[in-house]
Chain A
Amino acid sequence: MPTVSMKVNGKDAKADVDPRTLLVQFLRENLRLTGTHVGCDTSQCGACVVHVNGKAVKSCTMLALTADGAEILTIEGLANGAQLHPMQEAFRENHALQCGFCTPGMIMTAVDIVHRKGNNLEEHTIREELEGNICRCTGYHNIVKAIGAGARAMSGEVTKQAAE
Chain B
Amino acid sequence: MYAFTYHRATGLRHAANLLEKLEDPKILAGGQTLLPTMKQRLASPTNLIDLDKVEGMSEITAAGRSVTIGALTRHNDVHKSPIVQQAIPALAYLAGLIGDPAVRHRGTIGGSVANNDPNADYPAACLALGATIVTNKRKIAADEFFKGLFETALEPNEIITKITFPVPKKAGYYKFRNQASRFALVGVFVAKRPSEIRVAVTGAGSSGVFRVPSFEEALKKRFSPKSLEGLTIPADGMASDIHGSAEYRAHLVNVCARRAVAAADEKTPAE
Contacts and interface: CB of A to CB of B under 8 A. Distances in A.
A71 interface: no
A145 interface: no
Interface in A106-139: 109, 112-113, 116, 129, 131-133
Given A61-B35, A65-B50, A43 B103 contact: yes
A49 B102 contact: yes
Given A19-B48, A61-B35, A66-B28, A46 B8 contact: no
Interface residues of A, number: 30
A78 interface: no
Contacts of B5: 19
Identify the interface centre among B8, B28, B101, B103: most chain A CB within 10 Å of its CB: B101
A50 to B, nearest CB: 9
B8 A68 contact: yes
Interface string A15-37: 00011101000000000000000
A63 interface: yes
Given A41-B39, A63-B35, A57 B100 contact: no
A132 to B, nearest CB: 3
Contacts of A58: 102-103, 106
A152 interface: no
A131 B53 CA distance: 29
A42 interface: yes
Interface string A55-94: 1111001110110110000000000000000000000000
A18 B2 CA distance: 11
Contacts of A22: 35
Interface residues of B, number: 25
A2 interface: yes
In this complex, the member of A19, A112, A116 whose beta carbon has the largest number of chain B beta carbons within 10 angstroms is A19
Given A20-B1, A56-B101, A129-B101, A61 B106 contact: yes
B258 to A, nearest CB: 24
Given A42-B36, A42-B39, A63 B6 contact: yes
A17 B36 CA distance: 19
Contacts of B31: 61-63, 66
B100 A131 contact: yes
A19 B32 contact: no
Contacts of A112: 101-102
Contact of B36 (A2, A61, A116): A61
Contacts of B103: 43, 58, 61, 132
B46 to A, nearest CB: 11
Given A46-B100, A66-B50, A132-B99, 12 more contacts: A18-B3, A20-B1, A20-B4, A42-B36, A43-B35, A56-B102, A61-B31, A63-B6, A65-B6, A66-B28, A129-B101, A131-B100
* The 3 residue pairs across chains A and B that have the minimum distance between CB atoms: A132-B100, A19-B6, A55-B105
